């Protein structure tokens, strides 16, 4: 089963970048050679991770990284998106951990030797626990600690990096971590969710300015996730509910970055839930981006709700992935076109897109045709958005390999490469082979 695109698609040219993506805590293991992070603590708290697992070993990438680079190379990709473990590269006193830094320098050098562009994310949720103990993202000082980390690590990496992203999905860090309590550190408060979001965005702006100074030749930006919000019906109340949800979950993170303010619905927050904002914060947060990463997986449908203003509706009969997310590729097109209409966008990279499926390894093969279909549909949806004028320069499949899927533990597999967690054997799935073949089939010239 193939992934096929129209012959005149921008995605069929070598100017369009294809990659795979991972995150440090999800794959590295090697917990004994870094500081503890909030996910270590969360994993050790009974009932927080569905299968009771942790990230102490994960995919053992810290030990197997050389083989993993060859695996990445075998897929024919142009780029690899990885994240740096803050607790691996910094000591508690704020000095660099030479052993941790050297691991990444070797990895970056190996990627470069294999002509694979390194897209580095500085923060993919693994906050050092000692910083959380001092308030974490609820403490404004954490934004400045993050800028210091960005300063030191970007100096240490020199010219090895093609692109830096400051944060991955601040929505997940703030809402899931500090408001809903589903992710580490597991706190639950609307005020905490909004305040941590503001401090994360401030951290982004401060770090971006550091990156522009230290690493002016890299593409420096931010990665945001979006879950488009649809109304259950044409009822004005449902439409208003979907708009309110979109503000709260999506526009809350992009509008300050691109427009220097929160959505108008900010005024609807109770005063006790509004974040403390200092003069000059929005000027820092809205520092111009070289690119914006967009992560997309699914949509959510909403109806009006007297208590919260909006309530999600379970699309019971819709096709879904193994994690329960609706498969609705039209939302991918709709999202990109709507962002293009709402904002003056920098160049866009799709930094994550993929699906959890119930994969089975049978005779050393994984016939994940449902995932191949997911990629086929979503790459066509991306092609449609590009044809409607959205500037998208690259696409990263999530994920390179099966890994620790946060609160789901090891129960959900997103990889285009299967991982046997007992033996650490990697097996390229049918989706990985189809992705490789698509990349290798590109023409050499851009279609006019």
C-alpha to C-alpha distance for 167 and 175, rounded to whole angstroms:
14
Distances from the Cα of 129 to the Cαs of 37, 43, 90, 91, 143, in angstroms? 4, 12, 12, 12, 15
Q: Which of these, 117, 246, 223, 225, lies nearest to 166 by C-alpha position?
A: 223
List of long-range contacts for 171-175, beta carbons under 8 Å, 24+ apart: 171/197, 171/224, 171/225, 171/249, 171/250, 171/252, 171/253, 172/125, 172/225, 173/123, 173/125, 173/137, 173/200, 174/137, 174/200, 175/249
C-alpha to C-alpha distance for 181 and 51, rounded to whole angstroms:
17
C-alpha to C-alpha distance for 98 and 95, rounded to whole angstroms:
9
Q: What is the CA radius of gyration of the chain?
A: 21
Contact 392, 349 (CB under 8 A): yes
Contact 184, 42 (CB under 8 A): yes
Three-state secondary structure call for residue 299? coil
Candidate list 110, 132, 179, 352, residue with the active-site label:
352
User: Which stretches of 196-342 are assigned E, i.e. beta strand?
Assistant: 219-226, 229-231, 291-296, 300-303, 311-313
Residue 110 is a catalytic residue: no
Q: Chain centroid to CA 25: how far?
A: 13
Residue 326 is a catalytic residue: no
Per 3-state DSSP, the chain is made up of helix, strand and coil in percentages (nearest 5) of 45, 15, 40
Candidate list 28, 110, 132, 169, residue with the active-site label:
169
Three-state secondary structure call for residue 357? strand
Active site residues: 169, 352
């Amino acid at each position: 089963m193939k992934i096929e695109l129209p012959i005149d698609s921008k995605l069929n040219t070598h100017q369009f970048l294809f990659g795979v993506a991972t995150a440090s805590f999800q794959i590295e293991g090697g917990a004994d050679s870094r500081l503890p992070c909030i996910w270590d603590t969360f994993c050790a708290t009974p009932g927080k991770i569905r299968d009771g697992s942790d990230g102490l070993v994960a995919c053992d990438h810290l030990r197997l990284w050389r083989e993993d680079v060859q695996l990445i190379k075998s897929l024919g990709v142009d780029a690899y998106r990885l994240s740096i473990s803050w607790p691996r590269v910094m000591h508690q006193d704020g000095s660099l951990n030479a052993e941790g830094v050297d691991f990444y320098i070797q990895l970056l050098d190996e990627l470069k030797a294999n002509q694979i562009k390194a897209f580095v994310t500085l923060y993919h949720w693994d906050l050092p626990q000692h910083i959380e103990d001092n308030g974490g993202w609820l403490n404004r000082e954490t934004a400045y600690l993050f800028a210091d980390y960005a300063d030191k690590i970007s100096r240490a990496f020199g010219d090895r990096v093609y692109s830096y992203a400051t944060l991955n999905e601040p929505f997940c860090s703030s809402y899931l971590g500090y408001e809903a309590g589903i992710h580490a550190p597991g706190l639950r408060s609307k005020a905490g969710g909004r305040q941590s979001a503001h401090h994360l965005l401030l951290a982004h702006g401060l770090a971006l300015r550091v990156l522009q100074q230290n690493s002016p030749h890299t593409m420096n930006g931010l990665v945001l996730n979006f879950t488009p919000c649809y109304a259950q019906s044409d009822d004005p109340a449902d439409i208003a509910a979907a708009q309110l949800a979109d503000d709260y979950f999506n526009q809350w993170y992009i509008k300050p970055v691109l427009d220097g303010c929160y959505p108008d619905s900010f005024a609807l927050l109770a005063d006790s839930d509004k974040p403390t904002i200092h003069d000059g914060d929005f000027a820092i947060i809205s520092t111009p981006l070289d690119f914006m990463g967009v992560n997309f997986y699914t949509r959510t449908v909403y109806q009006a709700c007297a208590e919260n203003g909006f309530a999600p509706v379970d699309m019971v009969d819709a096709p879904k992935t193994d994690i329960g997310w609706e498969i609705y590729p039209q939302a991918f097109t709709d999202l990109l076109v709507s962002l293009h209409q709402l904002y003056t966008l920098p160049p866009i990279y799709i930094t994550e897109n993929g699906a959890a499926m119930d994969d089975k390894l049978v005779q050393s093969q994984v016939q994940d045709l449902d995932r191949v279909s997911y990629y086929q549909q979503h790459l066509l949806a991306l092609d449609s958005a590009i044809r409607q004028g959205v500037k998208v320069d690259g696409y990263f499949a999530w994920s390179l390999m099966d890994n620790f899927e946060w609160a789901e533990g090891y129960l959900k597999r997103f990889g285009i490469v299967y991982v046997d967690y007992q033996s650490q054997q990697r097996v390229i799935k049918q989706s990985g082979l189809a992705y490789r073949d698509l990349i290798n089939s590109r023409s050499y010239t851009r279609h006019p």
